[in-house]
Structure 1
């Protein structure tokens, strides 16, 4: 299928095109502000679907609203008519089309033009009135509070907020792209004349700012965002895309002694804690047990043995472990346990505990094997 995408270098256009290519679509005509009318004539000659994403929302002069959101749409349709091309057309409109402002009026005129065209030429028309869209590659300090807040917080810049209680209606770029590709395949989500993207996340501006600040803080406190919440999962992915190119990495505090080191990696209130333990050759660590706390050990490098003894029994149980054969060893409550490095090199163990370490209630009791 030959697909024409106008506004191809914009936020939505870039995300749409890369996913179209991921799904195997090869003939994609990319039209943007630096393209020519000759390009438009060439593309509209044989395109089989049009994603009309081009538009103006921050012009230097008010007249550019009509020129960009109505005038170019008219040019596009004229070029399709010239080639007798009845290609289906998707239009990127806005919820502002319901408002009596220059931007909204220009969007509404573009919608009406397209609806009339569809009736006249019996062509499938898919008009989407998008609310606020967020996600990777959205331009900060332009028309998206989420993009601006994400960029500024990730780059240690201040944010300004007039009213934290303003409720935002947000859709995520991946959800939008998936819906557009469904429309391409003939299965748009549609109600009456308009198509729509789901889900719409209704979130207060202050809550968005607080979440973004918590994402930044998570690099220090090692807390994992609650990605079981669909919106938080998407917002966190969005936030990471705004990290400075020289700040993808961050250091962890290594607790080092003559036995090796112990380093906390990730924490979560409901999913526990992951730490990295490094043991020097011949070193034994542990010799303690827990009432309720439970753990999982995974040796990823080196060779050793994990020993267990139920605190009221004499039998010692041993599990030989090695980075050459990855296997998880559960650490049940009620068993004192230790881990010994039997090799000649450092032994590295990934340790998960079902709860974060609480120094006031450590649930850890020292008893030798």
Structure 2
């Protein structure tokens, strides 16, 4: 299936493109501001795909009117391109639960659904309208995507965000939202997607708990529930790459050295060791949810990481002479290579036991290859 994503470089768009690649082997056509500003280019792009995930939207603007009109204008642009494509195209709208409320954002999203649905059905396609709650997750923009992103960046920077009001809010991890969007392709429905109710103060308390344990010694907190794991991965994304590598305390005597590699407060997990010959490499994959640690015990190693669907590479050099480790953030391709002249000994730890049927491990190279 050929899929296009409007707003494909934004928070939800990027996560959805990552999920399509990981679980469905689909490289989505990611449409951004340039394509949305050019009706002809947008119509040409939609004429080449089977489905469109309309994720682009206006969350913040200088005025309420710009928020309301902006979401309607984006829907009108996509609707015009669907009509101009001259063929049936299935469309899924990433709508908001606020579409049922009388506020500028809600009114704009409601009118966007009406406009886009009419055009899609008029062209013979199917239209799915998904009303999503508040989203959070890795690489959300602080001050824009959600209060969780703002809290995570503030806490990761060692600051103490102020809680101006506390109430319960339904939250949905962005990968779960992406899963709902993908599952809705080819359907004609209006669906309210539930989030998990959680207090704003509870979110802040959890992020501060994670920071207190993780920032100084890399101690893994209790991530035994999905919401804890997802909030922890959100915090880790905000803390990466600034806090790495970590150098634990080494206890030395005449027998040798002793140091902790992983201390975990909850959940299941597994640790294992590897030896790697000079010049050889391990990894070249990424994870959607797994928490994973690379601890260099002996030898010289280079760890490379690249955020999926991005170009920049983060590189760390670690040595067994000064034992240290780096945790792999979710949705970052990573590898480890022996860059020394002797054997490299590495310990690995994951928060979950290996499930061969669902390994949460997707092959990808650090060096992006040209794609047709």
Q: TM-score, normalised by structure 1?
A: 0.66
Q: Aligned residue for 1:11?
A: 11
User: Which segment drifts farther, 125-134 or 40-49?
Assistant: 40-49
Aligned partners of 1:271 and 1:43: how far apart in 2? 45
Q: Aligned residue for 1:337?
A: none
User: Which segment drifts farther, 60-69 or 4-13?
Assistant: 60-69
Aligned partners of 2:161 and 2:110: how far apart in 1? 33
Aligned partners of 2:204 and 2:90: how far apart in 1? 40
Kept in 1: contact 2:94–2:131 (CA 8 A) = yes
Of residues 133, 136, 142, the one that matches 1:134 is 136
SS in 2 for 1:267: coil
| Cα 1:273/1:90, change in 2 over 3 Å | closer
Give the Å deviation of 1:264: 3.1
SS in 2 for 1:46: coil
Aligned partners of 2:177 and 2:82: how far apart in 1? 26
Aligned partners of 1:37 and 1:119: how far apart in 2? 20
Give the Å deviation of 1:136: 1.2
Give the Å deviation of 1:237: 1.2
Give the Å deviation of 1:183: 2.0
Q: Aligned residue for 1:176?
A: 177
Give the Å deviation of 1:270: 5.8
SS in 2 for 1:34: helix
Unaligned runs of 5+ in 1: 276-299, 302-347, 351-369
Kept in 2: contact 1:46–1:85 (CA 8 A) = no
Q: Aligned residue for 2:294?
A: none
Q: Deviations over 1:62-100 (max 9, x none)?
A: 332243211221222122222322211111111111221
| Cα 1:40/1:59, change in 2 over 3 Å | same
SS in 1 for 2:53: strand
Q: Deviations over 1:268-293 (max 9, x none)?
A: 45679999xxxxxxxxxxxxxxxxxx
Q: Aligned residue for 1:201?
A: 196
Aligned partners of 2:233 and 2:240: how far apart in 1? 14
Aligned partners of 1:260 and 1:241: how far apart in 2? 35
Kept in 2: contact 1:150–1:212 (CA 8 A) = yes
SS in 1 for 2:158: coil
Residue 52 of structure 2 corresponds to residue 50 of structure 1? yes
Q: Aligned residue for 1:84?
A: 86
Kept in 1: contact 2:170–2:196 (CA 8 A) = yes
Q: Aligned residue for 2:282?
A: none
SS in 1 for 2:34: coil
Kept in 1: contact 2:222–2:267 (CA 8 A) = no
Give the Å deviation of 1:246: 3.0
Q: Deviations over 1:242-298 (max 9, x none)?
A: 1142312222122222332332343345679999xxxxxxxxxxxxxxxxxxxxxxx
Give the Å deviation of 1:171: 0.6
Query: Which aligned pairs between 1:327-342 and structure 2 lie closer than 5 A?
Result: none
Give the superposed CA RMSD: 3.0
Kept in 1: contact 2:222–2:265 (CA 8 A) = no
Aligned partners of 1:48 and 1:159: how far apart in 2? 44
Give the Å deviation of 1:144: 0.7
Aligned partners of 2:220 and 2:267: how far apart in 1? 9
| Cα 1:270/1:211, change in 2 over 3 Å | closer
Unaligned runs of 5+ in 2: 272-296, 299-344, 348-372
Question: Which structure's CA Rg is the greater one?
Answer: 1
Aligned partners of 1:88 and 1:8: how far apart in 2? 17
| Cα 1:223/1:137, change in 2 over 3 Å | closer
Kept in 1: contact 2:72–2:111 (CA 8 A) = yes
User: Which segment drifts farther, 41-50 or 115-124?
Assistant: 115-124
SS in 1 for 2:92: strand
